[in-house]
Structure 1
Amino acid sequence: MSILSHIFSPEVLLAMFLGGLYGAVFGAIPGLTATLALSLFIPFALFLPPEVGFAAIVSLTATAIFAGDIGSVLVRIPGTPASAAYTEEIYDLGQEQDPSYALGIASILSALGSLVGTGLLVVGAYGMAVVARQFSSFEYFWLVLLGVSSGILGSPHVLKGLVAFALGMLLATIGYDPALGHPRFTFGNPNLLGGVDFIVALIGLFGLSEVFYQLLKGPQIKPQPLSPGFPRPREVARRFFLDPLRLTVREWWLFLHSSLLGTFIGFLPGAGSDTAAWITSNLKRLTRGTKEQVVLAGTAANNAAVAGAWIPALSLGIPGDTLTAIILGLFLTLGIHPGPELFRNHLNLVAVIYGVFLLASVVIMPLVGYLGVFLAGFAFKLPRGILLGIIAGVSLIGAYAINNNPFDLYVLALLGVLGVLLRLGDFPVGQVVLGLVLGPMLEQHFMVSMIKTHWNLLSFFERPVAILLALANLGLLVGMLWLRLKQARRLQALRNPLEER
């Protein structure tokens, strides 16, 4: 009973609510990341009771990851790297149907995915720890390669997807070599030593390119409203709550395995919610899934990964991502040591963390998403010129605010032009982002593996888990080639009767 009184105390509930709103603001605005939100909050958390501080932190991190979808629906600018995995699909849903349905899928599926991740956090920490201990640089290489392969092969045009990914990976090589420390492609400019900032790239490729694209295409076509209209409150509730739940029931298997995969990927150190969202959404694209299915897979996985990242943090004292690394620092500052000692000496705190994860999933994320619907309705009622001006302004402010470096604005403009050229050439912009996210990870794990084995390529096939992941990559390649060949034969069979006529 004392544990429930801790969870439902006014202080904990208020901290959870305020932390959720605070995280939603940082998640929805490009350039203001969940990591920045948590970093700014840590000094205040030191002066709060542990239960209250961690209640705010859990709600903050859970909501910030989901809130990145709000920017994707409103103005086609993903607020977080995880949201970039399915920005095109969720933006199109908001345009073709209405923002309440798109945000409903993002919110409800994120909440349900978080529930699955929390359930595994409660019951599966030890078992997953045993599996993840088998992962070295070899296993991580094959896992990241699986994400890369699924993304490229899932493109409507494989060659264009490959070119876009290679372009993203080329952009990611600017700056210091992560393995050897040598500067690459900086052309003597010290501003490029740190590489192309990922958030600046996101804003340029998605946000500013959208402004350029609309300005370029606008005079040539009849102006269309950016949304088919904003429904009444009762219709909003139906589209936001009921329709996504019906979709979840209909696609229950997709939801379940995406959430489980997202939790496991989040559990792996250094992977995080963005990798989980990219892998699961790309796997659905491989099977030519609908836009709803792609968004469902990505949103269910990204918030399941948030809870999954807490599993090694609490049970082993190993951070699953940057956020949990900061949180582990707070644990140690407060004199609390994660691991078996945490469960033995601070059971009430562990119970509060579990309880807040559940409440954040059931209450906070749906509430924030529902409020986002009305914000979207207001945005879509604005005249086209004003909305494009707002997108441009948010893009410029967000890109500059990250590093307070005017040079980032030049990078933003160049990437905005690049994004327009890619869209005009029907190249998938998402694959460029995929190269920026997974390209450096692929290079790093490959180089680390090569250095420690003295360039012995056979070492990638000497460990059981590595062999399984290598076979999974091979199976994916063979399966996709077979599907492509089958589709080509089917199209040829349809063309032959027409040609005979």
Structure 2
Amino acid sequence: MSFFSPEALLALLLGSLYGAVFGAIPGLTATLALSLAIPVLLFLGPYVAMAAIIGITSTAIFAGDIGSVLVRIPGTPASAAYTEEIYDIGQERSPAYALGIASIPSAIGSLIGLVFLVLGSLALVWLAKQFSSFEYFWLVLLGIVSGIFAVPSLLKGAIAFGIGMLLATIGYDPALGHPRFTFGQPNLLGGIDFIIALVAFFGVSEVLEHLFHGSSRQEFRRLERLARGSSVFREFFVETWRLCLREKWGLWRSSVIGTFVGFLPGAGSDIAAWICSNFRRMRGGTKEQITLEGTTANNAAVAGAWIPAMALGIPGDTLTAILLGMFLAMGITPGPELFNKYSSLVVQIYLAFFLASVVIMPFGGYLSALIVNALLKIPMRALMGMVLGLCVVGTYAVNNNPFDLYLLAILGALGFVLRQGGFPIGQVVLGMILGPLLEQHFMVSMIKTHWSFASFFERPVAILLALANALLVALMLGIRYQQWRRLNRLRMLASLAKPEE
């Protein structure tokens, strides 16, 4: 079957629409969307099924930014990396411009990731084989350090990350299998589902923020005026392309990093978006720059995750793990056999990625900008009621467990309290993502080396990553010290300039 057959093109289009819906609704992830579609896709044949899978995975990631722009609620974990920035852009500039930054750079990142996918990236695949638990430990630690230093208050960033890591310790120990902090509650043995925490911290806490602070209504009315006074097409396409041309090196850098993180088994687009956006924050980037690099990295990671899946049969994330299951169910073995026996299918995968990047994502994002402009006409109370309803429905849909609704309320109240104290919610989420990974790789490394700490410094790649962590800490402490000295100098000059009484 040809890629340009009506069946394949229709599957790509319908898969894209289906993925966009799941990505935009808090609690409904790309993984859930793909899992629910598998029973149907198995009966459509490999060519049609691959087109639909690429449509689902490509659009579900960037569609998570729609809720971030409108009501500061990310639809996917990757969108949480830059939710505050993209929401502020929509408030200060226009929703169309914010959604343009969400979709156009995502398409560019996906195209650059596709280039690496087509070329085979043999050197990157070889490097991925060198990664063991020791290298992953230092890589995760690098993401943690960059996240803590990325916020203005180092203390509040560390506390927020600690809270997220503490919440992630609830349930069974990933290395030893002992239950922790369950307080005799069987529903907590599996831990707190990350999607539920994401919806609670960004969704319920945002609804509470609007409920207790009347100023949010004024902000929403201002956002509506901005939407009426701007051209959606010009803001979405023209202004976004100007930004992309100004930040072409940032696009290239975040695409390469996103692709690299994506092909590492178990990493995926979530960690790629956090790493790139946090590094840009530490360098004092603007909100547009932080958002652009985060959105570029998350979709580049989608294509990057297909590299080890197709070449080695190793999943780069949960989505490609499902993909490998699809291959095996259809009698296709990933790896050299895929390229030798099913070369036409490989070409179709490349073409589907290209079409999704060039056509589906840009114009799907433009359609979402028009929809957001229409949603702004809904009364504020009605919109917040709809948001809360989607949070409840999305949370219950994750596990079909009523206990999750109690967790939603408790974590939402905690998120509201943290907001009032000025603690960054994003760092709490980062702690829940990276904390368990850090613990798991540390424990695995310790167990297999009989608790030898020297083993973390015995492999070349591990040593390089350890040095990168040390240099990053030294650099950021130096920058913070210079900022502290400059602030003290300004205070001293202000006190000397004050007239004596």
Residue 261 (structure 2) pairs with residue 265 (structure 1): yes
Q: How far does the alpha carbon of each residue in 1:150-203 deviate from its partner, in whole angstroms, 9 at most, with x for none?
A: 000111101000000000000000001000001100000001111111111111
Aligned-pair identity in percent equals: 64
2:171 aligned residue (156, 172, 175)? 175
Q: How far does the alpha carbon of each residue in 1:332-386 deviate from its partner, in whole angstroms, 9 at most, with x for none?
A: 1111111111111111000000010010000111122111112211222222211
* Closer/same/farther in 2, CA of residues 248 and 439 from structure 1, 3 Å limit: same
TM norm structure 1? 0.97
The offset of 1:231, in angstroms, is 3.9
Residue 136 (structure 2) pairs with residue 136 (structure 1): no
**Rounded Cα–Cα distance in structure 2 between residues aligned with 1:36 and 1:211:** 25
> Equivalent residue for 2:306?
310
The DSSP-based 3-state class of the residue aligned with 1:82 is helix
Q: How far does the alpha carbon of each residue in 1:394-452 deviate from its partner, in whole angstroms, 9 at most, with x for none?
A: 11111111111111111111111111111110000000000011110010000000111
Instruction: Map residues 29-44 of structure 1 onto 2, 5 A cutoff.
Output: 29-44=25-40
The offset of 1:66, in angstroms, is 1.1
The one-letter amino acid of 2:304's match is: G
Between 1:108-117 and 1:90-99, the stretch displaced more is: 90-99
> Equivalent residue for 2:50?
54
**Count of paired positions:** 497
2:211 aligned residue (207, 212, 215)? 215
Residue 328 (structure 2) pairs with residue 341 (structure 1): no
> Equivalent residue for 1:240?
236
Q: Give the aligned CA root-mean-square deviation in angstroms.
A: 1.6
Residue 408 (structure 2) pairs with residue 412 (structure 1): yes
1:26 aligned residue (22, 26, 48)? 22
TM norm structure 2? 0.97
2:77 aligned residue (75, 81, 86)? 81
Instruction: Map residues 276-295 of structure 1 onto 2, 5 A cutoff.
Output: 276-295=272-291
**Rounded Cα–Cα distance in structure 2 between residues aligned with 1:55 and 1:305:** 18
Residue 359 (structure 2) pairs with residue 363 (structure 1): yes
> Equivalent residue for 2:196?
200
The DSSP-based 3-state class of the residue aligned with 2:221 is coil
Instruction: Map residues 415-494 of structure 1 onto 2, 5 A cutoff.
Output: 415-494=411-490
* Closer/same/farther in 2, CA of residues 224 and 276 from structure 1, 3 Å limit: closer
Tell me, yes or no, if the aligned pair for 2:210 and 2:216 is still in contact at 8 Å.
no
Residue 63 (structure 2) pairs with residue 67 (structure 1): yes
The offset of 1:125, in angstroms, is 2.7
**Rounded Cα–Cα distance in structure 2 between residues aligned with 1:164 and 1:303:** 27
The offset of 1:220, in angstroms, is 10
Tell me, yes or no, if the aligned pair for 1:95 and 1:228 is still in contact at 8 Å.
no
* Closer/same/farther in 2, CA of residues 171 and 226 from structure 1, 3 Å limit: farther
1:15 aligned residue (11, 18, 33)? 11
* Closer/same/farther in 2, CA of residues 275 and 222 from structure 1, 3 Å limit: closer
The one-letter amino acid of 1:186's match is: T
> Equivalent residue for 1:274?
270
Gaps of 5+ in 2: none
The one-letter amino acid of 2:250's match is: L
Tell me, yes or no, if the aligned pair for 1:30 and 1:398 is still in contact at 8 Å.
yes
> Equivalent residue for 1:326?
322
The offset of 1:213, in angstroms, is 1.1
The DSSP-based 3-state class of the residue aligned with 2:223 is coil
Between 1:471-480 and 1:221-230, the stretch displaced more is: 221-230
Residue 107 (structure 2) pairs with residue 111 (structure 1): yes
**Rounded Cα–Cα distance in structure 2 between residues aligned with 1:424 and 1:112:** 37
Q: How far does the alpha carbon of each residue in 1:267-286 deviate from its partner, in whole angstroms, 9 at most, with x for none?
A: 00000100101111111111
The offset of 1:228, in angstroms, is 4.4
**Rounded Cα–Cα distance in structure 1 between residues aligned with 2:356 and 2:216:** 46
**Rounded Cα–Cα distance in structure 2 between residues aligned with 1:351 and 1:224:** 46
Tell me, yes or no, if the aligned pair for 1:29 and 1:68 is still in contact at 8 Å.
yes
Q: How far does the alpha carbon of each residue in 1:456-496 deviate from its partner, in whole angstroms, 9 at most, with x for none?
A: 11110000000000011011101101111122222233333
Between 1:461-470 and 1:375-384, the stretch displaced more is: 375-384
Between 1:305-314 and 1:24-33, the stretch displaced more is: 24-33
Residue 391 (structure 2) pairs with residue 395 (structure 1): yes
The one-letter amino acid of 1:421's match is: V
Q: How far does the alpha carbon of each residue in 1:126-155 deviate from its partner, in whole angstroms, 9 at most, with x for none?
A: 121111111000000000000000000111
Q: How far does the alpha carbon of each residue in 1:85-117 deviate from its partner, in whole angstroms, 9 at most, with x for none?
A: 111111111112111011000000110000010
> Equivalent residue for 1:93?
89
1:189 aligned residue (178, 185, 188)? 185
Tell me, yes or no, if the aligned pair for 1:96 and 1:228 is still in contact at 8 Å.
no
**Rounded Cα–Cα distance in structure 2 between residues aligned with 1:243 and 1:53:** 36
The DSSP-based 3-state class of the residue aligned with 1:318 is coil
The DSSP-based 3-state class of the residue aligned with 1:6 is coil
**Rounded Cα–Cα distance in structure 2 between residues aligned with 1:126 and 1:233:** 50
The one-letter amino acid of 1:429's match is: I
The one-letter amino acid of 1:175's match is: G
Between 1:356-365 and 1:376-385, the stretch displaced more is: 376-385
The DSSP-based 3-state class of the residue aligned with 1:227 is helix
The one-letter amino acid of 1:117's match is: G
